[in-house]
Amino acid sequence: MKHKTSEMLNMLHQEHIVAHLKSLSHDDQLRMVSHIESLDLSVLNDGVMEEERGKFEPLYATTLDDIARNRDHFTETGLEAIRAGKVGAVLLAGGQGSRLGFEHPKGMYRIGIDRELYIFECLINNLLEVTKQAGAWVPLFIMTSVDNNRETREFFEKHDYFGYSDDNVWFFVQEQLPTVDTEGKLMLSGKGTISTAPNGNGGWYASMAKTGMLRIVQNAHIEWLNVFAVDNVLQRIADPCFIGAVIESGKVSGAKVVAKADPNEKVGVLCLEDGRPSIVEYYEMTDEMINRREPDGTLSYNYGVILNYLFRVDKLNRTLSVKLPLHRAFKKISYMNANGEMISPEEPNAYKFETLALDMVKLQDDCLAYEVDRSREFAPVKNKTGVDSVDTARELLKFNGVEI
Ligand code: UTP
């Protein structure tokens, strides 16, 4: 075994991996060493960067009423941008969906009861409404992970892209980071491999750069990218009114937000931090912030983000050199134990390291908070039952007239 590798592992307090390597045959050792060398082990060194937060202030939203008054005008501006080929969409579908506990990519989940209707299909149907209205395709970039890329592509192929134009769809694979157990130890995912997990949804633009997607963006002269999560089945993608509102505002980014259901709702709230747009997590808010109200009675920190953002491409390019903060998420992660048996835990057992798309908002000069009606646009599928689940999403689809 390479002395350098074992030394480095020892330095990082990963002696169990050195011991495991020693138990392997010479060829297997070589393979595993080169696998280890391909990993970004800086997460073990740096750990999670505890972020120093700045001074929070409310950021006021363009409300449903403001939007209603300007709907036609905003929509026309948005449609023009789409027709001019200036708008692309990025579907974040590299997550592991561990809370849902579905064995396949989350988008393959059948949300239809009486008919075949999949999460991916709901999203494409929503996008098709826009492309029909505009009379132009919106280039769609789909971020997958090493684990789910092949199945996702095959699913789209099998279903003829649900009526979308396959010439306008690109898949790209995000990067992985090692996972660690509660003691900070690397875990095995097989005899010769270390367990890794997708590096979070914040790396989407960097991954687009690494995988050559930005060349497509540049060659097509795409100026705006609408990035969104796979799990919201009511998601409006490349929404012309939203795009138009951001363009008309002169701001360089926009975020769809929903008014909080109650002051203590556990959502990240769009606000200002040291004068820049930012998202404050519910657990970072003081009671004073949670309950603060404006003269008209609305909560000052009222608008929760729903992972649907619009970014200007030229401004995104500047973010490529910035290291986003790493967050630790406690998840159910399968691993190989010391006896060589694969264990699939029933409960969260280990940490994965993630960058988050919301941290990219902070890198923008400004951001339009654009209010949407949650009963019309927000039906996330996170869990099997209960809050933000298959059940609640199905009810909301029905409420919006979607046959399931
Ligand atoms: P979540 O934060 O809900 O994570 O992702 P998840 O991995 O899908 O699900 P859980 O937490 O294990 O149950 C929000 C969005 O970000 C995408 C997801 O696919 C989803 O659209 N995502 C998340 C990525 O694309 N890559 C990641 O590494 C993580």
Rounded to whole angstroms, the Cα distance separating 206 from 150 reads 21
> What was the pLDDT predicted at 318?
86
Per-residue pLDDT tens over the stretch 247-275: 999 999 999 999 999 999 999 999 999 99
Residue pair 62/245 in contact (Cβ under 8 Å)? The answer is yes
Q: What share of the chain is helix, strand, coil (3-state, %, to 5)?
A: 35, 25, 40
Rounded to whole angstroms, the Cα distance separating 395 from 379 reads 9
Residue tagged 């012309």 (tokens): 240
pLDDT of 130 > 90? The answer is: yes
Distance from residue 94's CA to the centre of ligand 1 (Å): 6
The pLDDT of 329-349, averaged and rounded, is: 94
- Ligand 1: nearest atom to the Cα of 229: 21
Per-residue pLDDT tens over the stretch 64-105: 999 999 999 999 999 999 999 999 999 999 999 989 999 999
pLDDT of 50 > 70? The answer is: no
- Ligand 1: nearest atom to the Cα of 145: 26
119 C-beta closer than 6 A to ligand 1: no
Banded pLDDT at 48 (limits 50, 70, 90): low
200 C-beta closer than 6 A to ligand 1: yes
The pLDDT of 338-365, averaged and rounded, is: 94
| Structural class in CATH, domain 50-399 | alpha beta
- The alpha helices in 57-188, defined as continuous H runs, are 64-83, 119-134, 149-158
The residue type found at 330 is F
> What was the pLDDT predicted at 367?
98
DSSP run (H or E) holding 294: none
Report pTM: 0.96
The CA angle 221-224-228, to the nearest 5 degrees, is 130
Rounded to whole angstroms, the Cα distance separating 268 from 277 reads 13
Ligand 1 pocket mutation pick from 173, 201, 327, 356 by most atoms within 8 angstroms of CB: 201
92 C-beta closer than 6 A to ligand 1: yes
230 C-beta closer than 6 A to ligand 1: yes
Length, in residues, of the chain: 404
Question: Of all protein residues, whose CA lies closest to atom 10 belonging to ligand 1?
Answer: 97
- Ligand 1: nearest atom to the Cα of 91: 21
232 C-beta closer than 6 A to ligand 1: no
- Candidates 174, 156, 175; CA nearest to 165 is 156
143 C-beta closer than 6 A to ligand 1: yes
Show me where the domains of the chain are located.
1-38, 50-399
> What was the pLDDT predicted at 286?
94
Distance from residue 97's CA to the centre of ligand 1 (Å): 6
